[in-house]
Amino acid sequence: MSHITIDPSLTYTSGTQRVFDEKRTLEIIEKDLKRIGVTRIANITDLDRIGIPVYSAIRPGAASGAISIYSGKGFTHNQARISAMMESFERCLAERASENANIQDDADLINFIDTYENVVQEKVALDPLNLLLPEPINPENLIEWTQGFDLLNDQDCYVPSNAVYHPYNPPGRSHKLFRSNTNGLAAGNVIEEAVLHGILEVIERDALSIAEFNRNPGKEIILTPGDGINYELIQMFHKAGVDIKIWLLPHDTGIPTVVAATDDVHLKDPAMLVMGAGSHLKPEIAIRRALSEAAQSRLVQIHGAREDTDRERFVRQIGYERIKRMNKYWYVDGDTITTEDIQDLSGNSPADNIYTLVKELEGLTDSIVITDLSRKSINVPVVRVIIPGFEQYTLDRERVGKRMKTGKKRRLSREERPWRQRRK
């Protein structure tokens, strides 16, 4: 099955951008935790002095090449629990059944091996070159393909399986195109939520990649007491002695993407020069996600349990002053705006939000492909969203596309140059 049906009758719970409240969501997902191999959910909030809730989930049976410890964040403890659990479902269902120690049934998708030239003679297929390959591909190379659905053009579309499954090990004589990652992988209470969050994540990574590559953070967002929960969150950083800058990234989609960059001025620990990011049609939610993810990023470094946290060792070798100088653009004062200055594009239902995103992406990409990774044995839907041409530089430095040029690249001052120390 590839067709994705978006139900226009689904509406959000009053005052939220969620179909179900936290209690109902927990009732649904907790039933399947053991089935996907999660053995423990841990509250790691108190490992740090910030106090924003962060939880971890442990899944020892994760496939080889995948991490087995996941983390989640939120304004409440239930939100953080749900976030960690949802990442567990995303990671588990992104694995093929043949590599999955916990789930035996596979996603209801067609997979086959052929060259791109052969596939496009009979089917609609995504050109592998539009996935920003790290190196050229031989047209005669065999590639594995997976069935998906293109929301932008309302049609079935086949995509390289390398962009769908994680971890990815090419079967038979097929070729691997790039290192797999989890960009666009999303779970939800319903498939509409999963699709929405998957699209937003791809937009977030694209905006962040462009901002990092061009060293252009955009506009600085100033929060006031009128910002409610978000103001409370930023005050938690300030009271703990952690400086934080909030940025609205420049982006041609018009979708609010926000970064919260932190600096622990007391510890002066380079591993604590971390940030969080969030995209959402509702600016307040984008800001909240960035703030809570910044707290999560600190705790991931402190907890030190995840298998993908080699950054700590690397940055401590370089040192606090040099790391901060290399990333100075996140910590300088910028042109300021308030939350009210950012347009709220959100609707009252997942369908409204999805179709707003589709409209905003028209002209920026040729397709928005959704692959449904859900399983009949699991009640939580999971999808992978693939938007060809959108950047992933923040995840994979080898994959750089044309969209990088949409951000104005700023020349480094002598103080910002990472190689400055070598010239002394």
pLDDT in tens, 269-306: 999 999 999 999 999 999 999 999 999 999 999 987 55
pLDDT of residue 420 exceeding 70 = no
108-117, 133-142, 172-181, 312-321: lowest mean pLDDT where?
312-321
The rounded distance, in Å, linking the Cα atoms of 120 and 127 is: 9
Give me the torsion for CA of 285, 47, 93, 279, rounded to 10°.
Answer: 20
pLDDT band at 15 (very low <50, low <70, confident <90, very high): confident
Proportion of the chain above pLDDT 90, given as a percent: 89
Q: pTM (2 decimals)?
A: 0.94
Which residues have a Cβ under 8 Å from the Cβ of 312 and sit 6 or more positions away? 271, 301, 304
Give me the torsion for CA of 358, 362, 367, 370, rounded to 10°.
Answer: -10
Each domain of the chain, given as residue ranges in start order, spans 22-104, 209-340
pLDDT of residue 311: 66
End-to-end CA distance of the chain: 62
For 62, what's the count of Cα atoms within 13 Å in the CB-facing half-sphere? Answer: 23
- 209-340 to CATH, choices 3.30.160.660, 3.40.50.510, 3.40.50.800, 1.20.1250.20: 3.30.160.660
DSSP string, 87-128: HHHHHHHTS-GGG-SS--SPPS--EEEE-HHHHHHHS-B--G
**Token digits for 352?**
């409204």
Length of the chain: 424
- Average pLDDT for 122-147: 97
Q: What is the pLDDT of residues 335-370, one digit of tens each?
A: 999 999 999 999 999 999 999 999 999 999 999 999
pLDDT of residue 382: 98
Around Cβ 402, how many Cβ atoms within 10 Å? 9
Burial 115-142 (b: 16+ CB within 10 A, else e): bbeebeeeeebbebebbbbeeebeeeeb
pLDDT of residue 328 exceeding 60 = yes
pLDDT of residue 422: 36
Proportion of the chain above pLDDT 70, given as a percent: 93
Q: In the sheet that 54-58 helps form, which strands lie side by side, from edge to edge?
A: 40-43, 54-58, 69-73
Residue scoring higher pLDDT (423 or 356): 356
pLDDT of residue 414: 52
For the chain, what is the mean pLDDT? 93
CATH architecture of 22-104: 2-Layer Sandwich (3.30)
Q: Which residue has the tokens 């044309």?
A: 402
Which residues have a Cβ under 8 Å from the Cβ of 121 and sit 6 or more positions away? none
Same fold across 22-104 and 209-340: yes
**381 to 57, 187, 194, 378: CA distances (angstroms):** 18, 6, 7, 8
The rounded distance, in Å, linking the Cα atoms of 271 and 298 is: 8
* 204 contacts 276 by C-beta, under 8 angstroms: no
The rounded distance, in Å, linking the Cα atoms of 115 and 335 is: 50
pLDDT band at 309 (very low <50, low <70, confident <90, very high): low
